[in-house]
Amino acid sequence: MNTLNKETIHPVYLHLGSNLGDRLRYLLKAKFLINKHIGHIKTLSEVYETAAWGKTDQPDFYNQAILVITQLTPAEVLTEIHQIENILGRNRKPENHWGERTIDIDILFYNNQIINSPSLTIPHRHLQDRNFVLIPLCEIAPNFIHPVLGKSIQELRKLCADDSEVKKCE
């Protein structure tokens, strides 16, 4: 990983999802802990409801995109995310990879960095394939350019083949 100056701030786009228990409460708790342990939440999308993707025989998800300003490195952000997920009861066992979860937090982008390591891939490798990620992200960062694909989030949204319904929560 790159060594970063701890005085520098970095924009990090995160995606939050929850489909167990009080989904809105888990999103709220996650944002509180992100703000406390990772950095200042600068902006956030509305909350959207979508059917589960991948393993579909489970409750619908609430999803939200947020922009966080942090001084942490990408690896430190990932460590904090795993701790937050653990605090909020996330089951990270391999057999539950696509299963139900109280909270799921993914790093979508960290600055314009490209990271491919065994423990961390940035940008998130599937974000361009998923409406439930692109629609909230497009709300807060429509003109952000994907550093690998060279297209804006708005362009990726238009090109996305995923036709699953993503509806704004009231």
Cis status, amide bond into 142, omega within 30 of 0: no
User: Is 44 strand, coil or helix?
Assistant: strand
User: Is 79 strand, coil or helix?
Assistant: helix
Is residue 117 exposed (0-12), middle (13-18) or buried (19+ Cβ within 10 Å)? exposed
Catalytically active residues, by annotation: 90, 101, 104, 106
| CB of 64 closer than 8 Å to CB of 48 | yes
